[in-house]
Amino acid sequence: MARIELPTLCHDDRLSLAGSCRTCLVRADGQIVSAVSPPATPGAAVEVGAEDLRALRRDAVAAWSAVPGQ
Ligand code: FES
């Protein structure tokens, strides 16, 4: 198992929104999914560093940063 650090906002047991912030997007077996919901299956091909994924994560953080009260 590889251990890869990804940005997260909603992956916290105290929150009911787990899996909704999209700051941890990865490509798993060709599909763009959040890394926290559902968890990756053993043997899945997971890509994290592609520029399109980085841009999507940046956009998600920017969108959450623009929400009033955050
Ligand atoms: S941490 Fe929120 S969807 Fe991944």
Q: What is the pLDDT of residues 11-50, one digit of tens each?
A: 777 777 677 889 999 999 999 999 887 766 788 899 999 9
Q: What is the DSSP letter of 54?
A: H
Coil/strand/helix, residue 46 = strand
Cα of 26 to ligand 1 centre, how many Å? Answer: 10
Q: Are 10 and 17 contacting, i.e. CB atoms less than 8 angstroms apart?
A: yes
Cβ 48 under 6 angstroms from ligand 1: no
- Is 33 inside a domain boundary? yes
Cβ 26 under 6 angstroms from ligand 1: no
- Is 45 inside a domain boundary? yes
Say whether pLDDT at 70 is over 70: no
State residue 27's pLDDT score: 94
Structural domain including 41 reads 1-64
pLDDT interval class at 9 (50, 70, 90): confident
CA–CA separation, 32 vs 53, rounded Å? 8
- Is 70 inside a domain boundary? no
Q: Enter the tokens of residue 54.
A: 């980085």
Cα of 58 to ligand 1 centre, how many Å? Answer: 13
Q: Count the neighbouring beta carbons within 10 Å of the beta carbon of residue 28.
A: 19
- Is 69 inside a domain boundary? no
Cα of 30 to ligand 1 centre, how many Å? Answer: 18
State residue 1's pLDDT score: 66
CA–CA separation, 27 vs 44, rounded Å? 10
